[in-house]
């Protein structure tokens, strides 16, 4: 292996090692610092609807822009449980979707 590639490999290993010890280096741990989006979705009987059940395994929602299409999907596929009441706790958004119009938007 040429010396240049060995040098780059050594730098990469050193950076990864320092990333485990020094908290201010950007590493994979930076994704642990994303604040979870706090929201509730309830149906017409005031029963909670867990949107995570409608997402692929391991998917993570961290913005309203990502969340609202999932609310629309749930409403369209479960109109018999509508109207749904969606509340997002940080921005104090509250909306009612369905049964006629399931389009969730701000």
Per the CB < 8 A criterion, the answer to whether 48 and 39 are in contact is no
For the question of whether the overall pTM of this predicted structure is more than 0.75, the answer is no
Per-residue pLDDT band at 8 (split at 50, 70, 90) = very high
pLDDT of the residue at 31 = 65
CB burial of residue 86 (10 Å; 0-12, 13-18, 19+) = buried
- Does 34 score more than 80 pLDDT? no
pLDDT tens string 50-106: 988 998 887 878 888 888 899 999 999 999 998 999 998 877 888 888 888 888 776
Q: Does residue 14 register a pLDDT over 70? A: yes
């Amino acid at each position: 292996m040429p010396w240049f590639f060995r040098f780059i490999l050594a730098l990469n290993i050193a950076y990864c090692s320092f990333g485990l010890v020094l908290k201010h280096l950007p590493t994979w741990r930076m994704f642990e610092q994303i604040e979870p989006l706090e929201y509730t979705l309830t149906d017409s009987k005031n029963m909670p609807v867990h949107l995570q059940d409608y997402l692929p395994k391991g998917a993570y929602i961290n913005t309203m822009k990502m969340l609202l299409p999932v609310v629309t999907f749930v409403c369209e596929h479960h109109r018999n449980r509508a109207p749904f009441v969606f509340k997002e706790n940080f921005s104090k958004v509250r909306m009612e979707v369905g049964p006629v119009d399931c389009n969730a938007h701000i």
